[in-house]
Amino acid sequence: MINWGIIGASTIAKEWMIHAVNACPNSQVIALLSRSQQRGDRFRNQFGIPHTYTELDTFLANPDIDVVYVGTTNELHKPQTLAAAAARKHVLCEKPLALTLRDAHQMVQACSEAGLVMGTNHHLRNAVTHRTLRDLIQEGAIGNPLAVRVFHAVLLPPHLQTWRIKDPSAGAGVVLDITVHDTDTLRFILSDEVESVMACTSSQGLGEHGIDDTVMGVMRFERGTLAQFHDSFVIGHAGTGLEVHGTDGSLIARDVMTQHPIGEIFLRKGNQLKQVQLPAPVNLYERAVEHFNAAVQGEGEPAVTADDGLRSLAVALAVQRSAQTGKQIPVTYA
């Protein structure tokens, strides 16, 4: 049995991650750290978590914890990951890994030097829809991918209208929240790296003090594919989607930029539109935990590695910089 400790009595832990860890036959949540005793108690009662803590040191001193899931606000990912690595715990960290690339490198290095598994919790690659898109592109179903459009504009639910739209010190804004996910998904389905970006952000009603709640932009990939993205917290009725247009056909995916295992894919060639048969859906977060558990047992890698998290952060930071400067920004990964 692989024992997980959860850092942060957060929405993502409550809605997805605690269930995901406990749903895997070889893992269980045995501990939770919350700065608030009251929130910790609520989680303990709701999920039957045996140990709750309010201090990081005492949490990490629990020798039974094998894996730490860092699911707190973004500015805490670095200190909590470094502390977990020093306590010799494997780390699954939420995206964005950190607020700067330098911090993210430090986290990745600390885990790697200690011989620990570190992963990034980008969920979308675990969806059968995105894995099918990747397979179809690799099989040449649409020829050479030339252009991508990502629609990831949603309405931020009221219970999440907190630090994301208010607190720059916590890494607020739509770019660090959603564009990182687009980046990881596109790198995965295209098997390519982002070379440069151009973007424009806006505050369209939710973002306070000029915090971006909307971004539109373009990523240029190394093999020449251009990907256009629209990410937002203020669009309630658009639905999400992703399209990849190639030399020989187009893949059109609807309702796929979501935490839920839903969505459809169509292949269009000329006037022919065919729905792609998908494998049975799987819970995205359970698959992430399954792969992480396997990696801890020496089998393969996490579904999304620490290096993948570094790369999605690098692109998001370049997107922010492009929006600030009005210039096309080459992405620096080092």
User: Which CB sits closer to ligand NDP, 8 or 249?
Assistant: 8
Residue of 22, 28, 73, 258 that binds ligand NDP (CB under 6 A): 73
User: Which CB sits closer to ligand NDP, 51 or 245?
Assistant: 51
Nearest 5 degrees, angle CA 194-CA 199-CA 200? 165
Least distance in Å: CB of 160 to ligand NDP?
5
Spatial contact of 176 and 96, defined as CB atoms under 8 Å apart: yes
Q: Is 117 helix (H, G, I), strand (E, B) or coil?
A: coil
CA distance 175 to 145: 24
9 binds ligand NDP (CB under 6 A): yes
Residue of 3, 27, 34, 232 that binds ligand NDP (CB under 6 A): 34
74 binds ligand NDP (CB under 6 A): yes
Q: Closest CB to ligand NDP belongs to which residue?
A: 8
- Interface characters, 230-259, with ligand NDP (x: CB under 6 A): -----------------------------x
Spatial contact of 50 and 3, defined as CB atoms under 8 Å apart: no
Other CB atoms within 10 Å distance of the CB of residue 1:
12
Residue of 3, 27, 52, 72 that binds ligand NDP (CB under 6 A): 72
Other CB atoms within 10 Å distance of the CB of residue 141:
19
Residue of 19, 22, 35, 241 that binds ligand NDP (CB under 6 A): 35
Query: Which residue in the block uniquely carries the two structure tokens 């860092």?
Result: 70
In the chain, DSSP assigns E strands to 2-7, 27-33, 51-53, 67-70, 90-93, 118-120, 145-153, 194-202, 214-221, 226-232, 241-246, 250-254, 264-269, 272-275, 329-330
User: Which CB sits closer to ligand NDP, 137 or 178?
Assistant: 178
CA distance 199 to 231: 11
Judged by CB under 6 A, the chain residues 89 through 108 that form the site for ligand NDP are: 94-95
Judged by CB under 6 A, the chain residues 179 through 238 that form the site for ligand NDP are: none
Residue of 3, 52, 80, 121 that binds ligand NDP (CB under 6 A): 121
* DSSP secondary structure code for residue 14 in this structure: I
39 binds ligand NDP (CB under 6 A): yes
User: Which CB sits closer to ligand NDP, 16 or 221?
Assistant: 16
Other CB atoms within 10 Å distance of the CB of residue 278:
15
Spatial contact of 139 and 132, defined as CB atoms under 8 Å apart: no
162 binds ligand NDP (CB under 6 A): yes
User: Which CB sits closer to ligand NDP, 81 or 203?
Assistant: 81
8 binds ligand NDP (CB under 6 A): yes
In 109-240, DSSP assigns E strands to 118-120, 145-153, 194-202, 214-221, 226-232
Residue of 26, 36, 275, 332 that binds ligand NDP (CB under 6 A): 36
Using CB under 6 A as the criterion, which residues of the chain lie in contact with ligand NDP when the complex forms?
8-12, 34-36, 39, 71-74, 94-95, 121, 123, 160, 162-163, 177, 259
